[in-house]
């Protein structure tokens, strides 16, 4: 029982990341009809926003403290981050400590700008082209973005810690009446899950309860008619692209403490997230979210020792096996709509 | 000749001549000169060009003709390599059985994977093939370690049985050969201040590549090839005519899988080592890039794409800041530094950046690939600036339609 619960929890944070990226992919596909292979790169750029902010906040100057000496006998140099000098040591330290959550604020405008630039600069020209061309050009873009990040940040993963307040783990088992330390779960992952749920809820209610969202949904159903009603649907779709980029971006920001960002993390996630989108059903937002969590949890269940001894190596391939089975039995995926990407 | 019409025969003969002369053609710069580092006439590179040419030609039979975009073709390359190395471990170091086994095994895998994947089309097909390839890659690393030797990769060992060759003599590993002629033996010729290397391995690859190319021409011109084009242009209409597209696409998938297996077997024949990395999805992406860059759906395009990418990859990786300093030393200092900074981003380590940018530009502006570019250029030269008619090309295979790439749209 407790192992099952533990695996369920472990699956949640990965599932959240899958769900967030898949949500963005589906938003783009549903609105603009574009298969975006560069979406993983957007996730990665988000993660590097967190890295950048934490580096910026850690910029420091050196002062020489004449009273202390280091082990060589020279006067000791003390590094003081600028923020600590400007805002006082307490507040400055808190700023540095909370750099990852702060990076969300920092990243949203950046990601929206990146999204706009991508849509207006490149993808706009590919609406009338076949899906294969869209896949290919965004695949090229993903390579380019990846190489640019590699140039600026190097090839090694950069660890970006969560705030100290969330360093520990939460003893879930004790709360539910199991033995203490049976089910422990890092706070940050819990927060990630909560955050993902919040973002997903926000996107859905934005689409469901605002006029803007209504128009966008109408445009997804029938773009031409909405256009004929005198609504500039293209501009709204561009905004949705920016929104999708922001969703993937903040997903990346918050994931930075869980997985140290490196330049190829985007590609690693992208392949899985495409599988997620297809399993959920191309063009279905709830399907993408459901499939994201489902596959995340299945992945963590299959890495249990009991399962692994039964079916060796299953943890490595479970996602693909599920994808193949679902695509063959339910050709449109879990919640796919009729007429999307069909013959 | 060879069952080809006159035009194709002369085309094939030109290709043969070019392939045979590659060791000379890729060695244009005198030894010791500034530009000698751009010579590509060393065996390793030439073998790679031939092998990846085969791979891309095979991929093109599927993608270029039927329009099904497979994102998992590298799986067959990897499977072929493993099969070939096993043959060398168990039976003999002669490469012929190894390559045959590589083709058979990858053909079987392609039949199984294709049977399942081809039930869907469009992006679903791409994702399914990607999923199968990633699965093979992950399994080669984990469960199948006894067969694949996991992360180390499958290698030859001294105590392998090698039934036909008998026990290994001495303490060195045997080398791959064809009826006793070692693959890595080469003949060096010094002439005109250049060193030309004629390598057995390269000529073996080149021979196979020409054979593969010949089969591809026959296939393009055959009624079967016409059926495959019908699959690409309109499956519905094909069904209404009373033809089932399934067996044709499956046959194309298996053939292109066997081409990939052949390429994998050749890679192992040149260097008896097989690793799971060859199946990674980036490797699948590479063959897609090669085919598109050269020109999907054309005969020569994929080969050209493979050659250009492999050559530039080698050359670009060699250009470092020192070389750039030599080149641009005529510029004033400030300008020189700026120019060098810009170029350094795209060379050496930055090769992938160049590849990505080039690929994006080609997809955006030249959907027909380099072949299309060459055609436009020659037309410009011939007809001056007069308006080009899109449909005056007598040979439809050499004019890939931009658009309609993925079947089922």
Q: Give the separation between CA B283 and CA B305, rounded to whole angstroms.
A: 15
pLDDT higher than threshold 50 for residue A232: yes
Looking at the complex, report in whole angstroms how far the Cα of residue A27 sits from the nearest Cα belonging to chain B. 17
Q: What is the DSSP letter of A11?
A: H
> Which pLDDT does position B55 carry in this prediction?
92
Helix axes A131-153, A39-57, angle to 10 degrees: 20
pLDDT higher than threshold 80 for residue B164: no
Q: Give the separation between CA B149 and CA B105, rounded to whole angstroms.
A: 18
Does an H or E element contain A3, and which? helix A2-32
> Which pLDDT does position A236 carry in this prediction?
87
3-state secondary structure A162-210: CCHHHCCEEEHHHHHCCCCCCCEEEHHHHHHHHHHHHHHHHHHHHHHHC
The answer to whether the Cα torsion of B349, B260, B95, B168 is positive or negative is: positive
Would you call A125 an interface residue with chain B, using a CB distance cutoff of 8 Å?
yes
Q: How confident is the model at residue B407 (pLDDT cuts 50, 70, 90)?
A: very low
DSSP string, A76-88: EEEEEEHHHHHH-
* Average pLDDT of the residues in B250-270: 91
In a domain, B356, yes or no: no
Instruction: Lowest mean pLDDT of A160-164, B14-18, B312-316, name the range.
Output: A160-164
In a domain, B322, yes or no: no
What does the block give as tokens for A188?
């940050």
In a domain, A90, yes or no: no
Would you call A317 an interface residue with chain B, using a CB distance cutoff of 8 Å?
yes
Q: What percent of chain B has pLDDT over 90?
A: 13
> Which pLDDT does position A179 carry in this prediction?
67
Q: Give the separation between CA B235 and CA B251, rounded to whole angstroms.
A: 16
Q: Give the separation between CA B120 and CA A331, rounded to whole angstroms.
A: 8
pLDDT higher than threshold 70 for residue B397: no
Does an H or E element contain B102, and which? helix B95-117
pLDDT in tens, B192-230: 767 777 778 888 888 899 999 999 988 888 888 888 888
In a domain, A230, yes or no: yes
User: What are the residues facing A63 on neighbouring strands?
Assistant: A78
> Which pLDDT does position B111 carry in this prediction?
93
3-class state of residue B408 by DSSP? coil
* Average pLDDT of the residues in B322-345: 74
3-class state of residue A61 by DSSP? strand
Q: How confident is the model at residue A6 (pLDDT cuts 50, 70, 90)?
A: confident
In a domain, A95, yes or no: no
Would you call A297 an interface residue with chain B, using a CB distance cutoff of 8 Å?
no
- Whether residues B126 and A147 touch (CB distance < 8 A) is answered with no
In a domain, B228, yes or no: yes
Looking at the complex, report in whole angstroms how far the Cα of residue A130 sits from the nearest Cα belonging to chain B. 6
Instruction: Lowest mean pLDDT of A244-253, A282-291, B248-257, name the range.
Output: A282-291
pLDDT higher than threshold 50 for residue B125: yes
Instruction: Lowest mean pLDDT of A301-315, B74-88, B241-255, name the range.
Output: A301-315
Would you call A312 an interface residue with chain B, using a CB distance cutoff of 8 Å?
yes
Would you call B298 an interface residue with chain A, using a CB distance cutoff of 8 Å?
no
**Domain residue limits at A201:** 2-60+100-329
> Which pLDDT does position B109 carry in this prediction?
93
8 A C-beta contact, residue A292 and residue A276: yes
- Whether residues A135 and B403 touch (CB distance < 8 A) is answered with no
Residue-averaged pLDDT of chain B: 80
Q: How confident is the model at residue B94 (pLDDT cuts 50, 70, 90)?
A: confident
Cα A200 to Cα A55, A101, A116, A194, A204, distances in angstroms: 29, 18, 21, 10, 6
pLDDT in tens, A108-139: 999 999 999 988 888 888 888 877 788 888 88
**Domain residue limits at B230:** 6-282
In a domain, A33, yes or no: yes
Q: What is the DSSP letter of B401?
A: P
> Which pLDDT does position A343 carry in this prediction?
41
Q: What percent of chain A has pLDDT over 90?
A: 3
What does the block give as tokens for B71?
């994102």
Q: What percent of chain B has pLDDT over 70?
A: 88
Cα B250 to Cα A122, B108, B264, distances in angstroms: 35, 12, 21
Give the burial class of A93: count Cβ atoms within 10 A of its Cβ; 0-12 exposed, 13-18 middle, 19 or more buried.
Answer: middle
Locate all alpha helices (DSSP H) within B297-399, ordered by sequence. Answer: 301-318, 321-327, 333-346, 351-365, 369-383
Residues in chain A within 8 Å Cβ distance of B235 = 343
In a domain, A86, yes or no: no
Closest residue by Cα to residue A253 from A120, A165, A173, A160: A160
In a domain, A273, yes or no: yes
What does the block give as tokens for B86?
């096993």
In a domain, A259, yes or no: yes
Q: Are strands A169-171 and A184-186 parallel, antiparallel or unpaired?
A: antiparallel
pLDDT in tens, B50-81: 899 999 999 999 988 888 888 888 999 999 99
User: What are the residues facing A69 on neighbouring strands?
Assistant: A75
In a domain, B60, yes or no: yes
CATH number at residue A250: 1.10.3470
Does an H or E element contain A241, and which? helix A233-255
Q: Give the separation between CA B234 and CA A279, rounded to whole angstroms.
A: 27
- Whether residues B116 and A328 touch (CB distance < 8 A) is answered with yes
The answer to whether the Cα torsion of B293, B299, B303, B308 is positive or negative is: negative
Residues in chain B within 8 Å Cβ distance of A281 = none
- Between A181 and A208, residue with greater pLDDT: A208
8 A C-beta contact, residue A136 and residue B288: yes
In a domain, B379, yes or no: no
- Residue in B135, B282, B360 closest to A141 by CB: B360
Residues in chain B within 8 Å Cβ distance of A322 = none
pLDDT higher than threshold 90 for residue B104: yes
Q: Give the separation between CA B10 and CA B408, rounded to whole angstroms.
A: 36
- Complex confidence, ipTM: 0.78
Would you call A325 an interface residue with chain B, using a CB distance cutoff of 8 Å?
no
* Average pLDDT of the residues in A205-215: 89
* Average pLDDT of the residues in A217-238: 85
In a domain, B392, yes or no: no
- Residue in A130, A321, A327 closest to B124 by CB: A327
* Average pLDDT of the residues in A290-313: 81
DSSP string, A92-156: HHHHHHTHHHHHHHHHHHHHHHHHHHHHHHTGGGGTTS-HHHHHHHHHHHHHHHHHHHHHHH-SS
* Average pLDDT of the residues in B242-257: 91
Question: How many domains is chain B partitioned into structurally?
Answer: 1
In a domain, B115, yes or no: yes
- Residue in B130, B132, B360 closest to A144 by CB: B360
CATH number at residue B29: 1.10.3470
Q: Chain B window 265-294: which residues touch A at a Cβ cutoff of 8 Å?
A: 281-282, 285, 288, 292
In a domain, B291, yes or no: no
Instruction: Tell me phi and psi for residue B153, to 5 degrees.
Output: 90, 155
> Which pLDDT does position A66 carry in this prediction?
66
Q: How confident is the model at residue B408 (pLDDT cuts 50, 70, 90)?
A: very low
pLDDT higher than threshold 90 for residue B110: yes
pLDDT higher than threshold 50 for residue B9: yes
**Inter-chain CB pairs, A–B, below 8 Å:** 126
Q: How confident is the model at residue A338 (pLDDT cuts 50, 70, 90)?
A: low
Q: Give the separation between CA A135 and CA A125, rounded to whole angstroms.
A: 13
């Amino acid at each position: 029982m407790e192992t099952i619960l533990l695996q369920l929890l472990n699956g949640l944070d990965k599932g959240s990341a899958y769900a967030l990226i898949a949500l963005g992919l589906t938003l783009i596909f549903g609105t603009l009809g574009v298969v975006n292979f560069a979406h993983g790169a957007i996730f990665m750029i988000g993660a590097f926003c967190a890295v950048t902010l934490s580096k910026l906040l850690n910029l420091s100057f050196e002062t020489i403290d004449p009273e202390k000496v280091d082990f060589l006998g020279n006067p000791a140099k003390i590094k003081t981050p600028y923020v600590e000098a400007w805002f006082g040591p307490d507040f400055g330290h808190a700023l540095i400590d909370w750099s990852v959550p702060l990076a969300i604020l920092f990243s949203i405008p950046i990601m929206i700008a990146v999204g706009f630039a991508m849509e207006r600069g490149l993808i706009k020209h590919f609406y009338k082209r076949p899906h294969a061309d869209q896949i290919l050009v965004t695949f090229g873009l993903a390579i380019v973005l990846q190489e640019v990040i590699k140039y600026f940040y190097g090839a090694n993963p950069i660890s970006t810690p969560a705030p100290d307040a969330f360093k520990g783990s939460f003893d879930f088992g004790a709360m539910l009446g199991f033995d203490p330390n049976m089910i422990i779960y890092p706070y940050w992952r819990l927060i990630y899950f909560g955050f993902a749920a919040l973002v997903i809820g926000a996107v859905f209610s934005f689409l469901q309860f605002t006029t803007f969202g209504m128009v966008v949904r109408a445009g997804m159903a029938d773009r031409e008619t909405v256009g004929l009603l005198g609504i500039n649907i293209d501009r709204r779709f561009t905004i949705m692209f920016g929104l999708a980029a922001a969703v993937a971006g903040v997903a990346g920001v918050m994931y930075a403490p869980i997985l140290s960002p490196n330049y190829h993390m985007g590609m690693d996630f992208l392949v899985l997230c495409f599988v997620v989108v297809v399993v959920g059903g191309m063009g279905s937002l709830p399907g993408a979210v459901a499939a994201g969590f489902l596959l995340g949890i299945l992945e963590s269940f299959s890495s249990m020792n009991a399962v692994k001894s039964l079916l060796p190596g299953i943890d490595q391939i479970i996602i693909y096996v599920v994808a193949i089975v679902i695509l063959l039995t339910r050709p449109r995926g879990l919640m796919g709509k009729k007429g999307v990407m069909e013959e | 000749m060879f069952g080809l019409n006159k035009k194709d025969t002369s085309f094939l003969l030109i290709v043969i001549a070019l392939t045979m002369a590659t060791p000379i053609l890729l060695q244009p710069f005198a030894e010791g000169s500034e530009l000698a580092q751009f010579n590509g006439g060393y065996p390793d590179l030439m073998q790679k060009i031939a092998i990846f040419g085969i791979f891309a030609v095979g991929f093109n039979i599927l993608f270029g003709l039927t329009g099904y975009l497979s994102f998992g073709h590298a799986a067959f390359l990897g499977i072929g390599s493993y099969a070939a190395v096993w043959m060398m471990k168990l039976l003999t170091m002669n490469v012929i059985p190894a390559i045959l086994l590589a083709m058979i095994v990858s053909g079987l895998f392609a039949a199984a994977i294709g049977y399942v994947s081809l039930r869907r089309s469009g992006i679903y097909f791409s994702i399914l093939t990607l999923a199968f390839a990633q699965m093979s890659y992950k399994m080669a690393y984990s469960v199948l370690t006894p067969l694949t030797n996991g992360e180390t990769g499958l290698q030859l060992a001294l105590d392998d049985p090698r039934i036909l060759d008998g026990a290994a003599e001495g303490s060195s590993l045997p080398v791959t050969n064809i009826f006793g002629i070692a693959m890595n033996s080469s003949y060096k010729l010094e002439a005109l201040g250049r060193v030309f290397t004629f390598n057995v391995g390269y000529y073996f690859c080149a021979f196979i590549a020409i054979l593969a190319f010949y089969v591809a021409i026959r296939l393009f011109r055959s009624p079967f090839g016409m059926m495959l084009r019908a699959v690409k242009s309109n499956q519905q209409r094909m069904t209404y005519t009373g033809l089932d597209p399934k067996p044709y696409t499956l046959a194309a998938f298996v053939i292109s899988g066997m081409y990939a297996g052949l390429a994998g077997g050749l890679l192992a024949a040149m260097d008896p080592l097989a690793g799971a990395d060859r199946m990674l999805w980036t490797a699948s992406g590479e063959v897609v890039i090669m085919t598109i860059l050269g020109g999907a759906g054309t005969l020569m395009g994929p080969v050209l794409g493979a050659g250009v990418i492999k050559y530039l990859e080698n050359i670009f990786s060699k250009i470092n800041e020192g070389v750039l300093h030599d080149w641009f030393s005529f510029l004033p200092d400030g300008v020189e530094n700026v120019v060098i900074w810009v170029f350094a981003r795209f060379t050496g380590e930055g090769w992938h950046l160049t590849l990505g940018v080039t690929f994006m530009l080609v997809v955006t502006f030249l959907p027909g690939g380099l072949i299309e570019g060459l055609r436009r250029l020659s037309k410009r030269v011939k007809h001056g600036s007069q308006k080009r008619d899109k449909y005056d090309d007598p040979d439809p295979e050499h004019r890939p339609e931009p658009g309609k790439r993925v079947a089922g749209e």
